[in-house]
Structure 1
């Protein structure tokens, strides 16, 4: 039998997944926190059924993305204002303003993607292979590759509409 402490330890180990998924689907910090709570609840509800056939993190990605998709459907579309995070791990101290601008535009563009496209980009940014992405989304590897390439192109087009050139 799986214990509550084991679950909490695993959640703590992989808490970055929770925050990354919530940032991809919600632009308001309060909505992000609500989504994190909903994901943890769904993870806990289904934890007994986790059979360790895959890594916990892989299973966690799948539950998190499915929960985010469901949660997102329930949320009303908010106005076009966007909230961006200021202290991200990958922001280098040199050229900070330029990188923050790029990151802000990236997240703004991601918020214009549909739910599946957001999931594709999230998994890609997490370093998952096309095969892993396909497995997490329940699609074929070829379909994952095609959809991911189209989504990358779409992000570039969206960012260009904001007047930013690569």
Structure 2
């Protein structure tokens, strides 16, 4: 393995949670989640040489992951959907606390209903990304990112109450 390949492998290991979140958020089955994860890693590898370090590595990774997910989502949305919402797979985050697990599943269900940009804003916000990075990743202003998130908090609350 070359030095470049080892660096990239380490980068993926350190940031695989980011890729998993994007994969989970934009898919409905475990198989699709794995496929999207692999596609994101492939796209990251293809664009690895072009990363110039002008932004944080996580910002670059989010941008590539989200662009890959949204592109694949648009391609797949042209074909008929066969998955029902009830068949959506979510990994267990809290094995010992069933109530928290149910809340997290509900949150994922609700977030998946949002438009792509809003979905990305919420996901990055929940991942404690600063508004500056959210804005940079999505190509919007920091003020716009804050406004979107404030509006989304109400939307998410309303949707979660609807499903609860």
With the length of structure 2 as denominator, give the TM-score of the two structures. 0.89
- CA–CA distance in 2 between the matches of 1:14 and 1:97? 27
> Residue in 2 aligned with 1:63?
64
> Residue in 1 aligned with 2:26?
25
- CA–CA distance in 1 between the matches of 2:129 and 2:95? 23
Deviation at 1:92, TM superposition (A): 7.4
**Which of the numbers 84, 87, 90 marks the counterpart of 1:84?**
90
> Residue in 1 aligned with 2:11?
10
Is the 2:134–2:145 Cα contact (8 Å) retained in structure 1? Answer: yes
Deviation at 1:30, TM superposition (A): 0.7
- CA–CA distance in 1 between the matches of 2:95 and 2:40? 30
- CA–CA distance in 1 between the matches of 2:101 and 2:142? 33
Q: Does 1:112 align with 2:140?
A: no
Q: Deviations over 1:69-104 (max 9, x none)?
A: 111111234433322222x1xx373xx121112111
Q: Deviations over 1:22-64 (max 9, x none)?
A: 1111121111101111111111111111112222222111111
> Residue in 1 aligned with 2:126?
125
Q: Which runs of 5+ in 2 are unaligned?
A: none
Q: How large is the Cα RMSD of the aligned pairs?
A: 1.8
More helix by share: 2
With the length of structure 1 as denominator, give the TM-score of the two structures. 0.88
